[in-house]
Amino acid sequence: MEKVTITINGHECQGMHDQSVLAVAREHGIYIPALCHHPEMPSSGGFCRVCLVEAHQDGRMRLVTACNYPVRKGLEIKTDTELVKRIRRGIMELLLCRVPESPVIREMAARDGVTKTRFFRDEGEGLRQRCIACGLCTQVCEEVVGVAALAMLNRGRDKEPGTPYHKSSSVCIGCGACAYICPTGAIAMVDRDDTRTIWGRSFAMVKCSVCGAPYIPEAQVEWIVKTTGKDRSFFDKCPNHR
């Protein structure tokens, strides 16, 4: 792939043609906030919008989402103009109104000088107290794990991920990918003794034959064996003792 040079806040940065602005910025230690993006997942730029930046090219300026805007030769990016900061503060206020007690959102908002919101504080209950409804959890479950145990439920401010009808899912394998990828830590997953509990269901964990530590749900092992043909004995030992 072709290397290209772009400018971010006046600094020359090298990236690869088609790499995202966000990825190049991170490689060069330049902060651009992002929530609904994960480096291992395709980005739609469609939800949180906190990564909005100014993109200047061929005498034109556009506001773009850094997580999915591809770098091109000669592109000039500005992440800290008054316009960008004003828009981002507005977005942070809206996020704060949805999840006012989320430590991740409060910290991100404070970085932009936003400590309170002009809008109605929507406290919510349970998962909704931290969930920004970005949909990364449903995406990872369907596109990476291949299970599709989750969907976005309800509409408007009540929108949240969950299992159908909030019933215990028969297809969930307890892998925890949804909890790991959640940018605000909204999804509760508890590993206690040799049991994992997530989405209202408990999963027995497989113990490592060397150290005895429970490290992967039995249901996840069965799923991997079934879908990949991997030998069951591979999971007798945890990654540290293979």
Least Å distance, CB 229 to ligand SF4, is: 20
| Per-residue contact string for residues 182-221; x = within reach of ligand SF4 by CB under 6 A | ----------------xx----------------------
CB of 129 to ligand SF4, least distance (A): 19
Q: 91 or 178: whose CB is closer to ligand SF4?
A: 178
Shortest Å distance, C-beta 140 to ligand SF4: 6
Q: Exactly one of 45, 176, 183, 214 binds ligand SF4 (CB under 6 A); which one?
A: 176
Alpha-carbon distance of 100 to 123, in angstroms, equals 7
Closer to ligand SF4 at the Cβ: 102 or 139? Answer: 139
Binding footprint of ligand SF4, residue count (CB under 6 A): 15
Q: Which of 96/149 has CB closer to ligand SF4?
A: 149
Provide the mask over 131-170, with x wherever binding to ligand SF4 is found by CB under 6 A and - wherever it is not.
---------xx---x-x-xx--------------------
**Does 174 engage in binding with ligand SF4 (CB under 6 A)?**
yes
Kindly list the residues in this chain that would bind ligand SF4 in the complex (CB under 6 A): 140-141, 145, 147, 149-150, 172-178, 198-199
